Amino acid sequence: MPWQTLIERGERLPVFVDLAEGHAGLLQRLGPVTPFELAVAGARLMATPGLAFLVGYQAALRALWPSAPQSLGALCATEQRSLRPADMQTRLSELRVNGRKDFVTAGDAAEWLLIAARSEAAGEAPRLKLVVVYGGEPGVNLEKLPAIPLMPDIGHARVLLDGALCEVLPGDGWDAYVKPFRTLEDLYVLSAMAAWLYGVGQECDWPQALQLRLLALLAGCAEVSRQNPSSAAGHVLLGGLFAQFKGLDVELNEALAAGPASWREMWGRDKGVMDIAAGARAKRLAKALESLLA
């Protein structure tokens, strides 16, 4: 990570009117970057916490699938609020996929979609493959969902698949993709949000100690980005980073309260995204500690 590009003050980009076009412009501005550099340097430039989240989410997708296109993408796994393979109805058969995914982040703007689909034969235990489909292709329909109060600038969609031709990625869909993505998303969204806050702190001249603590958190994120997302040690280190971030709550609230109302209101509205996966993250941490300390 070229840290000087973060530490130096940079000009913030305007709000994206079109998420896909805005993301393409960001990538053009940054040039070749690693997923971690995208999450940090990209989110630092974003106008809102929601757009910073989106950058972190895209970085996680590229860490999961290094061959991902440069355009905006999305992972589609959840069905009826469940991630359990046994609860999924989406099916893969001879390079065609049928089914639906109910709540896809930025799905209304995504140009490519990673779809978790059942692939086992009749009578076998549920087994997943991850496949790629492209928006606008026959059999791929996106239904934009109503905006929600949290990060209203990032849309969501329902994906309907009717015999859509797909590309099948190698490896087990659960173990190689869906399961590790939850950890990658946690890490890269945390990195993006910390970088966004650091940028706000620069603009608002927050106390130097708080700015340095945010930089230290990002340095820790850089180390965890080098860990295998399925490793117990990586889960423990990630748990430490979230504890470190949580420990900044009081200082962040005080700094935001002393500055422009716009930053304070945006963060107050959107910071809840950091708690959405807290329960699952706590379970992974407990399991990791048990395996390491047994």
pLDDT (tens digit per residue) in 44-64: 999 999 999 999 999 999 999
pLDDT in the model for residue 69 = 95
Average pLDDT rounded to a whole number, residues 132-145: 96
Check whether 71 has a pLDDT greater than 70: yes
| Per-domain boundaries in the chain | 4-64+176-293, 73-168
Check if the beta carbon of residue 49 is closer than 8 Å to that of residue 196: yes
Average pLDDT rounded to a whole number, residues 85-91: 96
- Give the three-class secondary structure for 109: coil
Check whether 140 has a pLDDT greater than 90: yes
Average pLDDT rounded to a whole number, residues 64-85: 95
Distances (CA, A) of 245 to 44, 84, 132, 218: 17, 29, 34, 10
Cα 79 off chain centre by: 18
Check whether 1 has a pLDDT greater than 70: no
Residue 184 — very low, low, confident or very high, per pLDDT cuts 50/70/90?
very high
DSSP letters of 170-233? Answer: SS-TIIIIIHHHHHHHHHHHHHHHHHHHHHHHHHHT--HHHHHHHHHHHHHHHHHTTS-TT-HH
Check whether 9 has a pLDDT greater than 80: no
pLDDT in the model for residue 11 = 83
| pLDDT, mean over the chain | 95
Check whether 280 has a pLDDT greater than 70: yes
Check whether 17 has a pLDDT greater than 90: no
Check if the beta carbon of residue 199 is closer than 8 Å to that of residue 181: no
Alpha-carbon span 181 to 265, nearest angstrom: 30
Residue 165 — very low, low, confident or very high, per pLDDT cuts 50/70/90?
very high
pLDDT in the model for residue 5 = 79
Average pLDDT rounded to a whole number, residues 80-92: 94
pLDDT in the model for residue 67 = 96
pLDDT in the model for residue 30 = 92
**Fold of domain 73-168:** Butyryl-CoA Dehydrogenase, subunit A; domain 2 (2.40.110)
pLDDT in the model for residue 6 = 79
Task: Record the tokens describing residue 208, joined without a space.
Answer: 């130097």
Average pLDDT rounded to a whole number, residues 243-266: 97
pLDDT in the model for residue 222 = 97
Check whether 153 has a pLDDT greater than 70: yes
pLDDT in the model for residue 133 = 98
Residue 125 — very low, low, confident or very high, per pLDDT cuts 50/70/90?
very high
